[in-house]
Amino acid sequence: MLLPVLKTFQETPVGYRLAMHTNYFLDLYESGFRNFVGIHLSGADLRNRILVDVDLRHANLTGIQLGRSFLTKANFACAQLNWADFSFAKLSASHLNDSDLTKANLRGTFLVNADLSHAKLSGANLSYANLSKACLRNANLCGANLYGANLRGADLSGTNLAWAHMGSARLSGAAIEKTRLDDVNLEGAWLNGIDLSGTDLRGVNLREAKLNGAKLDGADLTMANLERATLREASLVDCNLSSCNLSGAVLWHAQLNGADLSRANLSGANLAEACLDRATVEGTEFTQAVLPSSARQYLLEAVRGTTHWTQRPAQETLAESEFIDHHLSDTW
């Protein structure tokens, strides 16, 4: 019964396809039809549906409700999806490239291996979304909520993450090259082993972040907040850490060769077995820090000035630190 209708729909130019009733759309899909390029389904309620392999390229889907739907391998390329609700939907291996997802709700959405390159996601809610190995190259996530999101192995090259909330997000193995990170919130984020060499991280909140084995050579972390962050065996060669808050941070066995630690706060930090060769320590705060005995002589000669944090002579705070030969505890 639907065959004449299907043929007519297939032959209609994309630009002339009008709004489609939700039930009619579902009838077509159930009959085996998959090509819905350019249709209008704005505001449609399609929650808890199975719409695998559906082709909705260039469709107008503003405000559509697809929460908890199965949309594996669906194609939403270039679709209008602003204010759409994809919460807890399954979108693995789906195509959302060049789509407009401004203010969309993708909370808890399964987007493993999904293509979101060049997508507009500013202000979108991606909290607790699984974006493992997803492609987000050149996507705009300005001001997006990515709290607790899984971004392990994701491609974030050229992505705009300015003002994004990425607290407790998992980013280990993610590709971050030419990524914009202005004022991004990475508090408690997992960044173990990530390569952020040369990245501009000025003023970024990395409080309690996990950066074990991370590579931050030449990165600019001026005035960044790394309070109680863990950077075991991290490489920070020639890194700019001036005026950075590293109080209570774990920098065991970290490479800080040539790093700029001027006016930084290292009070209570653990730098056991760290390398501080050529580090700049003008006005650095060392109160109750654990320091490698190998750096004692260098620091006694190099530490000068007044600390930025407590306005005390830096040498006075150094006298209140502890020099040890080996890392004494794994509880730091």
Q: What is the pLDDT of residues 136-146, one digit of tens each?
A: 999 999 999 99
The answer to whether residues 141 and 198 belong to one domain is no
Given a contact cutoff of 8 angstroms between Cβ atoms, the answer to whether 220 and 202 are in contact is: yes
Task: Please give the average per-residue pLDDT across 12-22, as a whole number.
Answer: 58
Least confident of 3-7, 60-64, 208-212, 289-293: 3-7
Task: Please give the average per-residue pLDDT across 154-177, as a whole number.
Answer: 97
Domain boundary among 147, 170, 194: 147
The answer to whether residues 214 and 85 belong to one domain is no
The answer to whether residues 230 and 321 belong to one domain is yes
Tokens of 224: 């960044």
**Residue 92 is assigned to a structural domain of this protein:** yes
pTM: 0.91
Task: Please give the average per-residue pLDDT across 171-190, as a whole number.
Answer: 96
Alpha helices in 181-287 (DSSP H): none
- Return the CATH number at 276: 2.160.20.80
Domain boundary among 118, 147, 176: 147
The answer to whether residues 195 and 96 belong to one domain is no
The number of folded domains in the chain is: 2
153 exposure class (CB count in 10 Å sphere: 0-12, 13-18, 19+): middle
**Residue 53 is assigned to a structural domain of this protein:** yes
The answer to whether residues 135 and 190 belong to one domain is no
**Residue 177 is assigned to a structural domain of this protein:** no
Q: pLDDT category, 309, cuts 50, 70, 90?
A: confident
Tokens of 283: 């006005």
**Residue 172 is assigned to a structural domain of this protein:** no
Could you please report the per-residue DSSP string of 99-161?
-B-TT-B-TT-B-TT-B-TT-B-TT-B-TT-B-TT-B-TT-B-TT-B-TT-B-TT-B-TT-B-
Name the residue range of residue 283's domain. Answer: 186-332
The answer to whether residues 1 and 130 belong to one domain is yes
pLDDT over 90 for what percent of the chain? 90
Residue 291 confidence (pLDDT)? 98
Whether the per-residue pLDDT at 12 is higher than 80: the answer is no
The answer to whether residues 127 and 207 belong to one domain is no
**Residue 102 is assigned to a structural domain of this protein:** yes
The answer to whether residues 231 and 89 belong to one domain is no
The answer to whether residues 25 and 115 belong to one domain is yes
**Residue 154 is assigned to a structural domain of this protein:** no
Domain boundary among 130, 147, 164: 147
The answer to whether residues 206 and 305 belong to one domain is yes
The answer to whether residues 130 and 24 belong to one domain is yes
Provide the mean pLDDT of the chain.
Answer: 93
**Residue 209 is assigned to a structural domain of this protein:** yes
**Residue 63 is assigned to a structural domain of this protein:** yes
The answer to whether residues 143 and 196 belong to one domain is no
Whether the per-residue pLDDT at 2 is higher than 50: the answer is no
